[in-house]
Amino acid sequence: MFGLRAAITSAAVARVAASRAAVAGRAPSALAARRYYSDHEETYEEFTNRYVKFFENVDEQFELQRGLNNCFAYDLVPDVAICEAALRAARRIDDYATAVRVFEALKIKVDKPSQYQDYLQALKPVMDELGVETKEDLGF
């Protein structure tokens, strides 16, 4: 849907753990850095900030979907802040279907159904504010 699932490496496990800790409201103990080339490393916070800023500036459907494809293609589960920014962008450009698909992508990306429920719980206030429902809530 938003890209292929990548193989999980030991560094990715740390990033996923950090994401899960953020969803649960705990501070992650150690964050792994993603190395793009020899002179640059990106921490989980930098990754999150980059995509939050990206989605805050989206003004068309193509950009939104491209950003979601890129974000979900990484070997980590996006932070709640990224999901919130993506939902707000989808509603701002009046793309309800993509807002619903954010939850479909999350459901595929997490390891356990309980983690998906944690995301739903964390995003519930935003969902209510924006009027976004999940595919299951819509009866599909």
pLDDT digits (tens, 9 = 90+) for 39-51: 668 899 999 999 9
The superfamily (CATH) of domain 10-130 is: Cytochrome c oxidase, subunit Va/VI (1.25.40.40)
- Of 45, 122, 115, give the one whose Cα is nearest residue 83: 122
So what's the pLDDT on residue 23?
54
CA distance 65 to 49: 18
Q: What is the pLDDT of residues 75-133, one digit of tens each?
A: 899 999 999 999 999 999 999 999 999 999 999 999 999 999 999 999 999 999 999 99
Q: What is the pLDDT of residue 135?
A: 93
42: tokens are: 């990106």
What is the pLDDT averaged over residues 61-76? 95
